[in-house]
Amino acid sequence: MTLRYVAGALALFLAACTNQESAPARENAQTAKAERADPFTYANYDAVRATHLDLDLAVLFDEQTLKGTATLVLKRLDPEADTLVLDTNDLAIESVEAEIGGTWRHVSFILGEDDPALGSRLEIELPEDAERVRVAYRTSPGAAGLQWLSPAQTAGGVHPFMYSQNQTINARSMAPVQDTPAVRMTYSARLTTPPDLVALMSAAQDEGPRDGAYVFDMPQPVPAYLLAVAVGDLSFRAIDDRIGIYAEDDILAAAAAEFEDTPGMMEAAEALYGPYRWGRYDLLVLPPSFPFGGMENPRLSFLTPTLVAGDKSLTNVVAHELAHSWSGNLVTNATWRDAWLNEGFTSYVENRLMEALYGPERATMERALDLDSLKRTVANAERPALTQLKLPADLAHPDDAFSQVAYVKGAFFLKFLEERFGREAFDAFLRGYFDHFAFQSITTEDFETYLRENLLADDPEAVSEAELRAWLYEPGLPETIETPVSDAFEKVAAQQARWLSGEIGADALEVASWSAHEWLHFINTLPKAMTQEQFAALDARFGLTDSANAEIAFAWYMKAIPGGYEPAMPAIEDFLNRVGRGKFIYPLYTALKENGREDFARRVYAEARARYHPIAQRRIDGILG
């Protein structure tokens, strides 16, 4: 064999060895890419990525639209890319321009067919040297992420109101963007509004006069779902030098008193998890139609007015939204299959903050209530795979990721790790986690790798492989889940048992010291076979049908409907007409339908529907067919 053939054979041998060695690496890379893939976006963000969004919009209440331009600063990841693909939903695209060497010129674009869930693909011609793209557009009056309220639907009754709710994939109904949590961008905005209204965004606020021209800046990169806007007749009250409340005048003072402990929550969070990195932290109390308890828009959490109970019993939601400043906003799930990275971490941090402010007993009671809710969710799940933390690849819609599994199972997983490694070690791990992944979007697999390298490696016997897999990738409740034991709840249960047995009457129940959590435990654990006399006795003694605490009222109504307690029905109708929070209204409409009151539910919904957010309308349309 000549030297030439020897060299050639050696080269082929080395190449073969290289291919054999790299096959697992290639397979791992492909698997990692698949785990990061987002099926709920059209955007070609692996080729071209938006790094900054600049909005210049007029808020047109008469037309119920936003009109203006969105300018995107681009970073090319693929030098050969000749198109930019964005997400839109019911946007009227008027023109598209690209900036080349400081000069704007029109470019061609194609707006694809509308998908009921994903909206339309906007494919834009991208010249070789284009640095920015500017889209002139108008939103739809029925935009999924925007709600327009008439003056009559506000507390003041004089001025209209508009606000956004862009999680999970509704930002595309507000602006043409890469609407995936995998992409983070900074943003700026200029809004023109009626001069007697205040405009707010999830950004540094315009602190100038109420003049109808507002400028905003968000220098920290955020995913599109954290874009947020609200415009209305709003006033402001400071709680301290970096935290305050925006609300309509009728609820402002009560909200400021209810949420006055927020600075203490901030101090506790910073002591545990490092500095707050977003500048100010303000709260906006929205009209009752807001479909969620809260939304963690950075710098400006949106809150439902149903949290203003008068006794601070529901402020855990404020703690939750604040906690998102670390878990969710700072470190974000890269796909909605990994939603537990946002919500489970946040629910764990929330519980730690409640313990720091109000003591271990309240934190234990809240975990116990959460576990009961999680058990109901798991028992009623349509698919076992939807009770995993890492959700299946065939998730039908990203909103399906937001069940008690993501929130509560995720939080109990972190509680499990805390117990196994000790609180001191786990606190240090979490603080390092937030620092390491700050302003990044990650997957469950990224978290698992970090966990193995920075916690398990120091104590490999603390958690077995089977236990880790059961928590992250298997359905249902792991055997190692904590069972919180509350002394207060045990005392409630003992009194309840005596009353149910007839040993004592409702008048003899000792409830003067009960918190809202104890009342919720009492109501939630009442048996299905309640008699009408028992319903009436509790209601006459404690006025549960007319409770001012929305959580207590809701829990009572969920017993009254299947129990056939007629005196509660007018109050339920009033509640459904006043409150738009999905946590309450979805189960109530479902219970009405399933318990022979579908006609009642349809009549109430026909009256209330216009006051609900489009997100809530779609859900209840589905419930009632």
User: Would you list the DSSP string of 30-47?
Assistant: HHHHHHH--TT----TTT
Residue 238 has pLDDT above 80, yes or no: yes
Asked whether residue 36 is domain-assigned, the answer is no
The answer to the question of whether 582 is labelled as a binding residue is yes
CB 439 within 8 A of CB 220: yes
417 within some domain = yes
The alpha carbon of 268 is separated from its chain's Cα centroid by a whole number of angstroms, namely 22
Q: Are residues 436 and 548 in the same domain?
A: no
- The residue-averaged pLDDT of 481-498 equals 97
* Residue 324 marked as a ligand binder: yes
- 204-233 pLDDT, tens digit per residue, is 999 999 999 999 999 999 999 999 999 999
Q: What is the pLDDT of residue 417?
A: 98
Q: What does the alpha-carbon distance between residue 114 and residue 196 come to, in Å, rounded to a whole number? A: 37
Q: What is the rounded CA–CA span in Å between residue 137 and residue 552? A: 45
Say if CB 92 and CB 81 are below 8 A apart.
Answer: no
In a domain, 536, yes or no: yes
- Is the same domain home to 582 and 603? yes
Residue 374: inside a domain, yes or no?
Answer: yes
324 touches 297 (CB < 8 A)? no
The model's pLDDT over 62-103, given as tens digits with 9 standing for 90+, comes to 999 999 999 999 999 999 999 999 999 999 999 999 999 999
Q: Count of alpha carbons within 13 Å of 283, Cβ hemisphere only?
A: 34
Checking if the pLDDT of 7 tops 50, the result is: no
For residue 441, list its beta bridge partners: 332
Distances (CA, A) of 146 to 89, 140, 289: 12, 9, 12
CA 111/CA 65 separation, integer angstroms: 19
Instruction: Please tell me the total count of domains within the chain.
Output: 4
Average the pLDDT over 549-572 and give the result. Answer: 98
Mean pLDDT within 410-439: 98
Q: 291 among the known binding-site residues? A: yes
DSSP for 519-545 reads HHHHHHTS-TT--HHHHHHHHHHH-GG
pLDDT of residue 2: 35
> Domain check: are 344 and 439 in the same one?
yes
293 and 339 co-located in one domain: no
Reduce the secondary structure of 255-295 to three states and give it as a string.
Answer: HHHHCCCHHHHHHHHHHHHCCCCCCCEEEEECCCCCCCCEE
> Which residue range forms the structural domain that includes residue 54?
48-147+161-228
205 and 319 belong to one structural domain: no
In tens, the pLDDT along 381-408 reads 989 999 999 999 999 999 999 999 999 9
Q: What is the mean pLDDT of residues 540-563?
A: 97
Are 403 and 433 members of one domain?
Answer: yes
22 lies in some domain: no
Q: Identify whether residues 223 and 264 lie together within a single domain.
A: no
Q: What is the pLDDT of residue 10?
A: 35
Is 484 known to sit in a ligand binding site?
A: no
Q: Which of 228, 248, 265 is the last residue of a domain?
A: 228
475 is in an annotated binding site: no
CATH code of the domain in which 600 resides: 1.25.40.320
Same structural domain for residues 67 and 205? yes
Q: What is the rounded CA–CA span in Å between residue 599 and residue 580?
A: 20
Residue 483 — pLDDT band, cuts 50, 70, 90? very high
How far, CA to CA in Å, does 509 sit from each of 361, 392, 464, 537, 554? 21, 47, 47, 11, 21
Q: Is 343 annotated as a binding residue?
A: yes
Note the pLDDT tens digit of each residue in 360-369: 999 999 999 9
Residues 36, 144, 584: CA angle, nearest 5 degrees: 90
3-state secondary structure (DSSP) of residue 52: strand
* Rounded CA separation 62/150 (Å): 10
Is 581 labeled as ligand-binding? yes
296: annotated binding-site residue? yes
Q: Flag whether 597 is marked binding.
A: no
> Binning pLDDT at 50, 70 and 90, where does residue 167 land?
very high
The mean per-residue pLDDT over the stretch 532-558 comes to 97
540 and 396 share one domain: no
Q: Residue 14 falls within a domain, yes or no?
A: no
Within 10 angstroms of residue 202's Cβ, the number of other Cβ atoms is 28
Active site residues: 321, 407
Lowest mean pLDDT among 85-94, 151-160, 445-454, 572-581: 151-160
Q: Is 167 annotated as a binding residue?
A: yes
What pLDDT score was predicted for residue 32?
65
Asked if residue 290 belongs to a known ligand binding site, the reply is: no
244 is in an annotated binding site: no
Percentage of the chain lying above the pLDDT 90 cut: 92
| CATH assignment of the domain containing 219 | 2.60.40.1730
**Closest listed residue to residue 290, CA positions, set 496, 146, 117, 446:** 146
At residue 155, the pLDDT reads 87
**If you average pLDDT over every residue of the chain, what do you get?**
94
Contact (Cβ atoms closer than 8 angstroms) between residue 535 and residue 379: no
pTM of the model: 0.92
Give CA–CA dist 3/171, Å, rounded. 65
Note whether residue 185 is domain-resident.
yes
Per-residue pLDDT, 36: 86
- 483 in a structural domain: no
User: CA quadruple 449, 399, 141, 157: dihedral positive or negative?
Assistant: negative
Query: Is residue 103 located within the same domain as residue 218?
Result: yes
Residue 438 phi, psi dihedral angles, 5° rounding: -55, 130
pLDDT greater at residue 305 or residue 34 = 305
Residue pair 517/370 in contact by the 8 Å Cβ criterion: no
Residue 200 and residue 121 share a domain = yes
pLDDT of residue 35: 77
In the chain, the N- to C-terminal Cα span, in Å, equals: 80
Q: What would the pLDDT profile of 114-157 be if each residue is shown by its tens digit?
A: 999 999 999 999 999 999 999 999 999 999 999 999 998 988 89
Would the annotation count 434 as a binding residue? no
- Share above pLDDT 70 across residues of the chain, in percent, rounded to a whole number: 95
CATH number at residue 315: 3.30.2010.30
User: Is 320 annotated among the ligand-binding residues?
Assistant: yes
Tokens 């997400």 locate to 87
**201, 228, 255 — which closes off a domain?**
228
Is 351 known as a binding-site position? no
Residue 4 has a pLDDT of 34
Give the pLDDT of residue 34.
74
User: What are the distances in angstroms from CA 421 to CA 326, 414, 450, 451?
Assistant: 21, 11, 15, 12
239 and 211 in a common domain: no
Q: Name the domain boundary from 279, 299, 325.
A: 325
